[in-house]
Structure 1
Amino acid sequence: MAVNRQWLLAKRPSGMIGPDNFSYTESTVPEVQAGQVLVRNLYLSFDPTQRNWMVDRPGYLPPVAIGEPMRAGSVGQVIVSQHEDFTVGDMVQTTGCWQDYVVMAPGQGPMGLSKLPEGVSPEMMLSVLGITGLTAYFGLLDIGKPQAGETVLVSGAAGATGSVVGQIAKLKGCRVVGIAGGPEKCAWLKDAAGFDAVIDYKNDNVNEQIGIHCPNKWDVFFDNVGGSILEDALDHINLRSRVVLCGGISGYNATERVPGPANLMNLVTNRGRMEGFIILDYLPRAAEAAKDIMAWVASGDLIYKIDLQEGFENIPVTLQRLYTGHNLGKQLLKIADPE
């Protein structure tokens, strides 16, 4: 434990992020005070919103400061404990950032500090039971409010959140149409995840295909992408439809302000609703979602896919995979094995 490897935010991004936005350094392992634990990070989570944390502007979380370790969710192992609720060897979830070691306490950081439930792997904890799974669950059910027989359209459908959204919608008796990029992702969504239809935005006319696969229009649109795909979707809105705004990855690396949809009046004429949300607001209800999700996974009604990279040196390029479309499913990186 003599060295704590870290990747720091070196400069704020302009356009597509890359390894040159980060710098590698080594520091001493932090000391543990009363009420704290020292965690050795084993797995790191990669999420599209990390690009937003790198920009110096107000948000739901403060931006990562230049010279600080890049913020990231993680699963690790307790190495030293000065807290009565944690013992050495415990597997925990926290916001460990891009480094080997982090000192944390319950209630500290966006995700706090919690033990992994018995029988839950790090991969499961950081995907279907983590932020992405909770986002899918509460965004769809609390905001989208799908009803049996309705049509649910999902953009970014092959991502960790979108793929779970579609499967939960199927469990609720809905017809599900996904939008994803490339034949491999589209095939997985239809053949493995059980989507009724999938649109390949890289090779299809999205607006035309929505009309074909949603002949009665759609009732819920769960949007992870924004931009032109959001505009295409709004051309096929049903009466009293709901748009769940989860993300806008199509514009995260844009160098100029991305134009908004030109057809927002369709919401007015169809008495539709568009609402954004942040999953941090729902964390007090995480156990509610975890209970349902674990039951669906155990029964085989919900599957999840992990894109696992390895190696501390590969952290920056692994984040970039999210924005180039190279990942299929939840993007994780393993940096160490448990002791």
Structure 2
Amino acid sequence: MTNRQIVVDALPKGTLTPDHFRLESAAMPVPQDGEVLLRTILMSIDAANRGWLNGATYRAAVNAGDVMPTYSICEVVESASPRFAAGDIVAAESVWADYVAIPARGVQKMPPVQPLTHLHSVYGIAGKTAFHGLLSVGRPLAGETIVVSAAAGSVGGYVGQIGKALGCRVVGIAGGPEKCAFVTDQLGFDACVDYRAEGLFKVLRAACSDGIDVYFDNVGGEILETTLNLMNERGRVVCCGAISQYESTNPTGPRNLPGIVVVKRLRMEGFIVMDFAHDDAKAARALQAWVQNGQIKVFEDVVEGLENAPDALIGLLNGDNTGKRMVRVGPDP
């Protein structure tokens, strides 16, 4: 029996294309002492995946010839560790492959959640990133104005819904009228601005007549620069990602730094979701309560088939998704 896997054939210089990956067959992995053999069910597709291909970040650089890394929900097929048994549903730092054998110490047993896709979306990386970034870094208060970019994406949609649950006014930034309508009509934002339209500054200023207290930034670049000009004094900027810069061969940053930070006494802080792992149980309780009482709606974008993972990532970078994107590799147990 062989194991399909997707390898990084060449590192991209600019725009990512399917030619940067290749699908190949490898021998079925065999778990050694202390390891588990996992069958991949769902793989998370995130903008950060593209950033990993640019060099070392908060994780080691991905090199040509490596199997593409990911975060996966898996089923334990075989265990050489007393911590897990066959049939357990787990989350793990994994790779784009049907099967993987990894040390059990890097695997986390998942609670019984249905559907399993929710373990990637609202109760997974997307929901936890939104919760920890907004509450622990942004620290909003009821009545304040929150702006979030990539508002129709996997993280931005939850940021806005959490902000509404906390009693804030929430304004999204998204690409195109359809996505803006989704953000207001389906996710319940107070307003959404199309960054592709002319006059972003004027339109965003009109939507935030009392200024911006918290900006949750997923894109960087020009949108970050524009938003900084509308921040209130003592505002907080949550730096989560910079999708507008990942494929640029000449990345640009806001031209109004550091002056505007000083004048307005702003706080800008970056974070990685793992920084707040000690509060994951708190996040899970809050997210479950908001889902149960209807304050958070869950939208997911599931692409079928391991072989389609490269196109799923490329599409995400182009803004094709609405909600949390993931790839289904295998069926639920």
TM-score between the two structures when normalised by the length of structure 2: 0.96
Q: What's the offset of the Cα at 1:204?
A: 4.5
Q: What's the offset of the Cα at 1:64?
A: 1.5
CA–CA distance in structure 1, aligned partners of residues 155 and 281 of structure 2: 18
Amino acid at match of 1:43: L
Partner of 1:25: 24
CA–CA distance in structure 2, aligned partners of residues 214 and 172 of structure 1: 18
Partner of 1:152: 146
Partner of 2:330: 336
Q: Superposition pairs for residues 179-198 of structure 1, below 5 Å?
A: 179-198=173-192
Aligned residues: 333
Q: Secondary structure at the match of 1:333?
A: strand
Note if 1:243 corresponds to 2:237. yes
Amino acid at match of 2:311: V
TM-score between the two structures when normalised by the length of structure 1: 0.95
Note if 1:278 corresponds to 2:272. yes
Q: What's the offset of the Cα at 1:184?
A: 1.8
Note if 1:7 corresponds to 2:6. yes
Partner of 2:98: 100
Percent identity between the two aligned chains? 41
User: Once superposed, what is the RMSD of the aligned Cα atoms?
Assistant: 1.3
- Aligned with residue 263 of structure 2, among 255, 269, 285: 269
Partner of 1:225: 219
Q: Secondary structure at the match of 2:214?
A: strand
CA–CA distance in structure 2, aligned partners of residues 4 and 238 of structure 1: 54
Q: Secondary structure at the match of 1:251?
A: coil
Note if 1:67 corresponds to 2:65. yes
Q: Secondary structure at the match of 2:188?
A: coil
Q: Superposition pairs for residues 124-139 of structure 1, below 5 Å?
A: 124-139=118-133
CA–CA distance in structure 2, aligned partners of residues 182 and 91 of structure 1: 38
CA–CA distance in structure 2, aligned partners of residues 259 and 266 of structure 1: 14
Q: Secondary structure at the match of 2:12?
A: coil
Q: Secondary structure at the match of 1:160?
A: coil
CA–CA distance in structure 2, aligned partners of residues 122 and 102 of structure 1: 19
With over 3 angstroms needed to count, the CA separation of the structure-2 counterparts of 1:263 and 1:205, relative to structure 1, is farther
Q: What's the offset of the Cα at 1:330?
A: 0.7
Q: What's the offset of the Cα at 1:246?
A: 0.6
Q: Is the 8 A contact 1:237 1:267 kept in 2?
A: no
CA–CA distance in structure 2, aligned partners of residues 54 and 144 of structure 1: 28
Q: Is the 8 A contact 1:238 1:270 kept in 2?
A: yes
Amino acid at match of 1:66: A
Q: Is the 8 A contact 1:160 1:304 kept in 2?
A: no
Q: Is the 8 A contact 1:237 1:266 kept in 2?
A: no
Q: Secondary structure at the match of 1:219?
A: strand
With over 3 angstroms needed to count, the CA separation of the structure-2 counterparts of 1:215 and 1:187, relative to structure 1, is same
With over 3 angstroms needed to count, the CA separation of the structure-2 counterparts of 1:204 and 1:330, relative to structure 1, is farther
CA–CA distance in structure 1, aligned partners of residues 105 and 86 of structure 2: 19
Partner of 1:323: 317
